[in-house]
């Protein structure tokens, strides 16, 4: 059974069909890429997968469970986490706290326990600190834990966002243009990090990207989206050599 099974997913905005009959099937542990020209509808699909938009039609199944049209936080609880095209960090909080917010549902304790500083509070905070630091270490951010998130360099901010998403203990990680704004060295580092995350955390990763080096470097399978419709799907090499795909990117 595929981890993510999407069939016939469509959405229109004010008469304009943004995504039309989108289908995808991602196996557990895959590194999958969603590519296509700007405005093709890739982020819209992410938004539907994470409950930001409600699709007009179609089915989204995660690990056999139907998550179509559900609310964002329920989808996250079901096991989907994401990063955003325009990095959405908690700018006024520290690096460590950003990750700890991701751990919110993993170490619950009540507001009352907070106010009365019950033992449960201290225990949970200690465990959260440890777990958060572990995650920061994966991304090489552990010595910046007290930095204000907005003061991190751009590449580090992207990594922090991924760390926060991982903190929610997902089954499926959606990365929206993780390499945007990175130079070739940073991109190379990111590629290694993504592979590491997949291997270490047994993670399934679907990413949107424009950087072809990254796409061809780590993605095992691709779906190409054009004008909201699937143009090509399959193994990376085959898709990238597909004449239809080449035309769509380069024009006639």
CB of 26 to other proteins, least distance (A): 19
Q: Is there a contact between 228 and 220 (Cβ–Cβ < 8 Å)?
A: no
Residue matched to tokens 């499926």: 172
Q: What is the dihedral of CA 79, 82, 88, 90, to 10 degrees?
A: 30
Q: Where are the beta strands (DSSP E) in 14-88?
A: 16-26, 31-35, 57-62, 65-66, 80-82
Considering only CA atoms, which of 67, 15, 250, 246 is closest in space to residue 171? 67
158 touches other proteins (CB under 8 A)? no
Residue pair 70/51 in contact (Cβ under 8 Å)? The answer is yes
Q: Which of 7, 20, 28, 101 binds other proteins (CB under 8 A)?
A: 101
**Closest to 89 in 3D by CA, of 97, 98, 81:** 98
115 scored as a contact of other proteins (CB under 8 A): yes
- Is residue 63 involved in binding other proteins (CB under 8 A)? no
Residue 156 structure tokens: 């580090």
153 binds other proteins (CB under 8 A): no
100 lies in the site for other proteins, by CB under 8 A? yes
Q: How many chain residues bind other proteins (CB under 8 A)?
A: 48
Query: Which stretch in 18-26, 54-62, 114-122, 194-202 sits in contact with other proteins by CB under 8 A?
Result: 114-122
Positions in the binding site for other proteins (CB under 8 A): 43, 47, 50, 52, 72-73, 76-77, 81-82, 84, 88-94, 96-97, 100-102, 104-105, 107-109, 111, 114-117, 121, 124-125, 128-129, 143, 145-148, 151, 164-165, 167-168
């Amino acid at each position: 059974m595929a981890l993510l099974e999407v069939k016939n997913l469509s959405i229109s905005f004010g008469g304009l069909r943004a995504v039309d009959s989108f289908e995808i099937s991602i196996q557990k542990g895959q590194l999958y890429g969603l590519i296509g020209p700007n405005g093709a509808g890739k982020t819209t699909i992410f938004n539907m997968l994470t409950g930001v938009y409600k699709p007009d039609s179609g089915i989204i199944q995660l690990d056999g469970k139907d998550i179509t049209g559900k609310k964002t936080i329920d989808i996250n609880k079901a096991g989907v986490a994401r990063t955003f095209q325009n990095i959405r960090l908690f700018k006024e909080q520290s690096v460590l706290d950003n990750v700890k917010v991701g751990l919110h549902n993993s170490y619950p304790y009540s507001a009352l326990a907070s106010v009365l500083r019950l033992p449960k509070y201290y225990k949970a905070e200690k465990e959260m600190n440890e777990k958060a630091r572990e995650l920061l270490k994966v991304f090489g951010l552990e010595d910046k834990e007290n930095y204000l998130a907005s003061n991190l360099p751009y590449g580090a901010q992207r990594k922090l966002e991924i760390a926060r998403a991982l903190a929610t203990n997902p089954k499926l990680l959606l990365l929206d243009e993780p390499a945007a704004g990175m130079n070739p060295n940073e991109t190379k580092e990111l590629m290694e990090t993504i592979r590491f995350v997949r291997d270490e955390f047994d993670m399934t990763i679907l990413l949107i990207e424009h950087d072809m080096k990254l796409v061809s470097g780590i993605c095992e399978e691709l779906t190409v989206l054009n004008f909201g419709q699937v143009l090509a799907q399959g193994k990376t090499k085959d898709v990238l050599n597909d004449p239809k795909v080449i035309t769509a990117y380069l024009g006639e």
